[in-house]
Structure 1
Amino acid sequence: MTAVNYVGRFAPSPTGALHFGSLLAALASFLDARAQQGEWLLRIENLDPAREQPEAKAQFPFVLEAFGMFWDGPIVYQSDRLAFYEEALCKLSSHHLTYPCSCSRKEIQTRTHSGLYDRHCLLHGPTPHKRAGYRLQCSSGGICFTDRIQGTRCFDLSQESGDFILKRRDGLFAYQLAVVVDDHLQGITHVVRGSDLLTETPRQIQLQRYLGYQTPDYAHIPIASNATGQKLSKQTAATALDTKRPESQLIRALQHLDQAPPPELMSEKTSDIINWAIRNWRPQQIQRTERKAVF
């Protein structure tokens, strides 16, 4: 059996229905995997029960299928993987790379006026009688990586974001730790996602280096915004995808991704559009900048 050299994934959070911005991320990651005869996995990032909408989580697989995107293997739910995250946190702590922190966002903002964490709890210890989470002690110096769409980027975490949370004060694991552990355990080789997550990538690379994980190949596609310039998201009340007419939405997504679908494709069925898109996938054509999603 030939080894799979490409493993990609789509990892939505069940905080609302999938929308056009979700479609862009799903479609780009799916096409990138299938164009290279790779695997494409589906992971539901449901770490925060208070924000979760169970009906959205249940609908995700049906929506993807309606748009002609089928995943490999079982669906993974982060809520089932807490032991893996705890194991990684313990490993980091055993190497003295974490420290407990009881600071709230308001306290940090009051002290720093910037939101950049000032290592208060590393220097003074957590406030007594307050619940504490755990932060990663970031190394100094820049983290550089080459994104297939956005080009070479360099970040200095100590100056731009500071030590970041791995486990919250309420006991919930943070996105950064969970996504890094899951990408490693699932053997993810390529990550294709929205450019709004570009600045999260250096934090994840820092964790990968500390944990001894391989760093995936990254490609951040331009996000879509609404008429007022806001990113399409559940928070900005983005319209849910219409599973009864996936064809026109797929064409718009391919146009947004600069794939230049021919006019005659608009009259084809979903499977034909997807097959054309796989055969003609050209990620090098994707422009870097975000743009409005006009409907």
Structure 2
Amino acid sequence: MVPGAIILLALGATACGIEAPLTDSVGTPLGEKSAAIVLENLDNDTSMNLVARVEVQPDELLEFYEPAPGLIVVSRAGAPEGGISPLPRAATGSGIRELWARATNGLPPTVELEGALERAEQHRVARRVDVDSDAGSTRSAREVHAQPLYASATERPAISALSGGWCDTVYLAGDHGNCTIDASENYAWSGPISPDYVVCLPDREDGASYSRSDVNYGYASVCAAEGTPFLFNVSSDEVGGAIWSVALNTWREFYLYDDGCTSDPFDDCASMNVSVTQASGDRFHFHFLVRED
């Protein structure tokens, strides 16, 4: 079976010569912006092995990929008028099930997603057994940094004159665009982990590029505020890579949780490389954080 083949219902002519709407994995017709985003990024459905896609609300997509057996990554995209849904950012096991259930109002996972979840659990258990059985190499509790490590203080510029579009209003007003940092340099983040490394650029121009190794959890988000469509590139030594086209006043995010990975003794945690390219003269909001093993 071609990966994603049962998920992508291509536009086709009906008996009356009218094109049928593009639908998600549960049969919901996609909104205009969602459909455009899907059609613009079809290559990733195959290269990243799409296993499920659902439109959470009009013009907000939630996608699940299995680029390697047992490793599920999540992506969201769109420009919902009422703001991005407050879904959890967990990306493995029971967290994936909860995310799917909340996004679909309690529907069971698709056959493809259920299969990916079963492989993920087998993968997680196998890796834990490997670590536990390696005498003398089990690890103590991971250090949790009280303060995140930023690339540099100068990479948090003040917001410039804003365009008034979706990215400068709805996105920035919500949690996904939140770069709040208090007087103690503590970072406001509602995700499932405490990040070790954070880059939060609410008003960036002309591109960005960041990389980290030994990533247990990684998250990246971009919203195109001004200019022409640009490319959002995410790659890893474990999950391969995806290149998403991000249209003006739409957002795209990507996150993975490589549960069970260890840098010692196996060094099997993923790297995460994120960049915004073909963005000369464009302005965008960029967010990248990781929890490192």
Same fold (TM over 0.5): no
Q: TM-score, normalised by structure 1?
A: 0.28
Higher relative contact order (CA 8 A, sep 6+): 1
Q: TM-score, normalised by structure 2?
A: 0.29
Greater fraction of residues in helix: 1
- Which is greater in Rg? 1
Greater fraction of residues in strand: 2
